[in-house]
Every structure is written in structure tokens, then in C-alpha cells.
Amino acid sequence: MSTPKNYYWRIAGFYFFYYAFVGMFAPYWSLYLKSIHFDAIEIAILIAVQPVMRMIAPTLWGTLADRTGKRLLVVQIAATLSAVCYLGVFATTSFWGMFLVLALMGFFWSASMPLVEATTLTYLGKHSARYGRIRSWGSVGFIASVVGLGYALDHMAIVWLLWVGAALEFGIVLFARQIPPTEVLAHHTDSQPVKQIVLQPRVLALFGACFLMSVAHGAYYTFYSIYLVEHGYAKSAVGGLWALGVICEIGVFFVMPWLVRRFGFTRILLISFSAAVLRFMLIGWGVDFLSLLLVAQVLHAATFGAYHAASIGLVHEFFQGRHQSKGQALFGSLTYGAGGMLGGLVSGPIWQHYGASVLYSCSAGVALLGLLLIAWKLGAKSMQQTA
């Protein structure tokens, strides 16, 4: 019989390959699209396909998982179909062909993670603050991918990126079949419609603020690599800067149990949003100064690492029992999905017509709005509870 330790590595392996794929896609896919002669607006649209699917698909898959009670089977089917659809990138270099392939792949690929997040938190039970330590293996996978490819692409054709993606998709499928089953415990909110939970002011505030954080990051995920390369940075340096941010993210994941006990989820979010405002201003106006870019990447520890762990933790508190999968799926759809889509789409025209400095200043402004929303609806109650 498998032990909890074996379960830990099974879940960690899925996170590793899933985010290694992100480490291939987020920094370098825009460079591949540019190499086959798409312009800035076309690249922005194609990159935005993924968050569009993250907006549409997870809620459908999460509802299916909760209604059937077969969460892991849904993960396995979605991972397999995602890998099959991904193979289409080898068959097309046209805009609409690539759009169709990325849309189909994204529809299935985006289904897995909210369900795995719910599984991980159920597996951890009362020790949910330790979530970051399992999730950190996703960051390790991201670093391995982004650094390795950064150096490799300085010496080989970018078309090899497609083969790396295929190998990582295979790894996702393999570990999707290794994730252990978990029992969803009954909760007194099970009889409530999920809409009743979503419409609570604190839940709406969390979703709204996290939507804004994803909008703010749209420019980062779409144009950051192109931005650096156009300012003379080698692809290995680009990979190194991406990796630095994720290394700091891993550090935060490991100290999250202490941070949660000391500050609570809401205060961590307030700090994270404040750091995002500073980070995007540094990126937008300090690209010619490596020292400022290094500071900006260190802030990734807060703007993604601490932010992600705290927001996922709050969602887990808000959505209990049979609403766990739907709650995580709705969060992913409305924040990373809808927010990422909007951020990616608007970044193209702003980049093309006004330049990078204006674009990243807009990102800072959007993050500031998220900070104000958290402070308004969640901050005061958090201060009363910890006073």
C-alpha cells in the first residue's frame, strides 16, 4: 500500500512537469511566434488564447468532477487530450491554424490544475499551510525548463522548443495517472448553491482583486522576454532573470507556514499587491539597469509566490466540502483566466502604440487598484481578527 510520503512525490511530480511546461511556454513561446513572422498584435492574441481557455474550461471541468465524484479521472482524461492536441503545433505555422491548436490544447490543459489544487489541499487536510512545499516542485520544474531552454536556445534553433513541449506534455500525462485518490469530507455548506458563496462580499473582493493582479501580469507574460531581447539581453540572460524570480518564489513557498501563522492570508496579499506596483514600475523604467531588473525579479517572491499561496488558501477556506473543485475552478477561471486574457489582449495595442514603459506603468496602476480592493473589503476584518 502507498504511504503518504509516496503520495507527496506523486503530487509533486505532477506540479514539476505542469510548471516546467509553463516555463517553456511563458518565456519562449512568444519568441517562437515571432520567429514565424507574427506581429505584436497577433502574438498577443495567440498568447491570450491560453488564459481564455483558463476562463472557460476549469469551471466546466470542476463542475463535472464534483457531480461525478471522479476528480482524478477527469484530470487524467484532460491531461491526455491536451497532449494529443498539442501535437498540432508541428503541423501549422498559420495564424488561424496556431489559434485552433492552442485553443484546443488550452481547453484540456487548463482543466487539470484547479482539480489538482483541490486534491492537494484535501490531502493535506489541517496542514494546508504546507501547500507551498508541495507546490514548490512546480517552481523547480519551471526553473529547470526556463534556465535550460535559455542556454539551449542561444545555440540551437527555436523550433526545438516544440519538441521540448511534447516531452513535458508526456510527463504531465504520466504523473496525472499517479496522483492518489482523496476523500472529500462533508461540510454544512454542501446544500448551498455555489453562487451563494461566490456572492459574499469578501469572496467577490478576493476574486476581483486577483482578477486585477492577473490583468497586471498580462504584459509580463506576453512581452517580457521580447522586451529584454530587444534591449540587448541574451536568451540565457532572459532565462536567468525568469529563473531568479522563481527561485525566490520557492523560498517563499517553504516559509509560507510561518508567514501564515505570523501575518495571515489577507496581510500577505496586501504586501504582495504593494510589491507588484513597485515591480512593474521597475520593469517599465529600469530595463537598462540590470540591478533594477534583479530587484524586480526578487519581488516575484511576493507578486506570485506569496500571492498565489495566500489566494489559494483563502479560496480553500471559502469553498468547503463538495464545492472545493468548483471553488478552485471558478477562481482559476475568473482570475488567471479572464484576467490573464484581458491583460494579454490589451498589452498588444499598448505595446505597439505607446511602448513598454507606458505598458508596464499601466500594469502597476492595475495592481494598485487590486491593493485598494483588498484593503477595503478584507483588510479591516483581518486587522480586527489579529489585533
| Domain positions in the chain | 4-177+187-382
Write out the chain's pLDDT in tens, 387 residues. Answer: 344 455 778 888 999 999 999 989 988 888 899 888 888 888 888 888 887 888 888 878 877 877 777 888 888 999 999 999 999 999 999 999 999 999 999 999 888 887 888 778 777 766 666 777 888 898 899 888 988 888 888 888 889 999 999 999 999 999 988 887 766 555 445 556 778 888 899 999 999 999 999 999 999 988 898 899 999 998 888 888 988 998 998 899 889 989 988 999 999 999 999 999 999 999 999 999 999 999 999 999 999 999 998 998 899 888 876 777 778 888 888 898 889 889 988 998 999 899 999 999 999 999 999 999 999 988 755 544 444
- Quote the CA–CA distance of 124 and 285 in Å, as a whole number: 42
List Cα–Cα distances, 136 to 101, 150, 247, 296, in angstroms. Answer: 30, 21, 9, 20
The letter for the amino acid at 65 is A
Pairwise CA distance, residues 362 & 255, whole Å: 31
Q: How many CB atoms are located within 10 Å of the residue 319 CB?
A: 24
| Other CB atoms within 10 Å distance of the CB of residue 320 | 17
**Nearest-CA neighbor of 380 among 295, 267, 272?**
267
Sign of CA dihedral 217, 212, 247, 86: negative
Question: CA-to-CA distance for 75 and 62, rounded, in angstroms?
Answer: 10
pLDDT for the residue 128: 64
Residue 380: C-alpha distances to residues 232, 294, 377 (Å): 46, 33, 7
What pLDDT was estimated at residue 97? Answer: 94
By the 8 A CB rule, do 122 and 89 touch? no
Q: Which residue has the cell 517572491?
A: 301
What span, in angstroms and rounded, lies between the C-alpha atoms of 304 and 316?
A: 18
Cell of 355: 511602448
Q: How far apart are CA 90 and CA 109, in angstroms?
A: 18
pLDDT value at residue 3: 40
* 223/238 Cα distance (integer angstroms): 12
Judge whether 250 and 138 are in contact, CB under 8 Å.
no
- Which ranges in the chain belong to alpha helices (H)? 4-35, 40-68, 71-86, 95-124, 131-152, 161-176, 194-198, 201-230, 235-285, 290-298, 300, 307-318, 324-331, 338-354, 356-374, 380-386
Cβ 85 vs Cβ 53: under 8 Å: no
State the distance between the two ends of the chain, measured CA to CA, in whole angstroms. Answer: 46
CA contacts within 13 A on the Cβ side of 156 = 12
**Could you tell me the fold of the domain covering 4-177+187-382?**
Growth Hormone; Chain: A; (1.20.1250)
